Structure 1
Amino acid sequence: MKFGCCLNMIAEGEDGTGIEFLEQLVSYGYDYVELPLAQMMDLSPAEFAALKHRVEVSGVNCEVCNNFFPTGYRLTGPDADMEANLKYAAEALKRAQELGVDYVVFGSGPAKNVPDGFPMDQGYQQVAALLRKVNDIAHNLDITIVIEPLRRQECNLINTFEEGCRLARDVDGEHVKVLVDFYHLTEEKEPVEHLIKEGKEYLRHVHFARPDGRVYPQSAAEENYQPFIDALNAISYDGRISCEAYTDDYAASAPIALAFFKKCFK
Structure 2
Amino acid sequence: MKYGCCVNMFGEEADPVGIKYITYLAECGYDYVELPLAQVMELSSREFGILKTTLKNNGIGCECCNNFFPASIRLTGENTSPAVIEEYIQKACTRAAELDAKVIVFGSSGAKNVPEGYPMEEAFHQIAEVLKIADKYAFPKEIQIAIEPLNHKESNIIINLSDSKKLMKAADASSIRLLVDYYHFMVEKESIEAIKENGADIIHVHFAEQDGRSFPKNPSEDYRLFFDTLRKTGYDSRISIEAYSSQIKDDMVNALRIMKNL
TM-score w.r.t. length of structure 1: 0.96
Conservation of the 8 A alpha-carbon contact between 1:66 and 1:105: yes
Deviation at 1:24, TM superposition (A): 1.1
Q: Secondary structure at the match of 1:115?
A: coil
1:153-198 CA-partner distances (Å, limit 9, x unpaired): 1111100012111111111111011110000000001111011011
Conservation of the 8 A alpha-carbon contact between 1:219 and 1:260: yes
Residue aligning to 1:252: 250
Q: How many aligned residue pairs are there?
A: 262
Matches of 1:212 and 1:178 in 2, distance apart? 24
Matches of 2:212 and 2:260 in 1, distance apart? 22
Amino acid at match of 1:205: H
Matches of 2:12 and 2:123 in 1, distance apart? 34
Residue aligning to 1:229: 227
Counterparts of residues 97-108 of structure 1 (less than 5 Å): 97-108=97-108
Counterparts of residues 147-186 of structure 1 (less than 5 Å): 147-186=147-186
Q: Secondary structure at the match of 2:203?
A: strand
Bigger drift between 6-15 and 170-179 goes to 6-15
Identity score, percent: 42
Matches of 2:241 and 2:247 in 1, distance apart? 14
Residue aligning to 1:61: 61
Residue aligning to 1:241: 239
Amino acid at match of 1:45: S
1:208-235 CA-partner distances (Å, limit 9, x unpaired): 00101100002114x6223212210220
Matches of 1:168 and 1:140 in 2, distance apart? 18
Amino acid at match of 1:21: Y
Matches of 2:13 and 2:252 in 1, distance apart? 18
1:18-57 CA-partner distances (Å, limit 9, x unpaired): 1101111101100000010000111111111111111122
Deviation at 1:15, TM superposition (A): 3.0
Residue aligning to 1:27: 27
Q: Secondary structure at the match of 2:222?
A: coil
Conservation of the 8 A alpha-carbon contact between 2:199 and 2:234: no
Residue aligning to 1:211: 210
Conservation of the 8 A alpha-carbon contact between 2:70 and 2:108: yes
Matches of 1:225 and 1:32 in 2, distance apart? 21
Counterparts of residues 76-155 of structure 1 (less than 5 Å): 76-155=76-155
Matches of 1:40 and 1:10 in 2, distance apart? 15
Poorly superposed stretches of 4+, deviation over 4 Å = none
RMSD over aligned CA atoms reads 1.0
Matches of 1:249 and 1:240 in 2, distance apart? 24
Matches of 2:102 and 2:57 in 1, distance apart? 19
Matches of 2:68 and 2:250 in 1, distance apart? 29
Amino acid at match of 1:262: K
Deviation at 1:13, TM superposition (A): 5.5
Matches of 1:164 and 1:244 in 2, distance apart? 19
Q: Secondary structure at the match of 2:146?
A: strand
- What 5-or-longer segments of structure 2 have no aligned partner? none
Are positions 1:263 and 2:239 aligned together? no
- What 5-or-longer segments of structure 1 have no aligned partner? none
Matches of 2:20 and 2:76 in 1, distance apart? 34
Matches of 2:13 and 2:248 in 1, distance apart? 14
Are positions 1:220 and 2:219 aligned together? yes
Conservation of the 8 A alpha-carbon contact between 1:15 and 1:43: no
Amino acid at match of 2:111: A
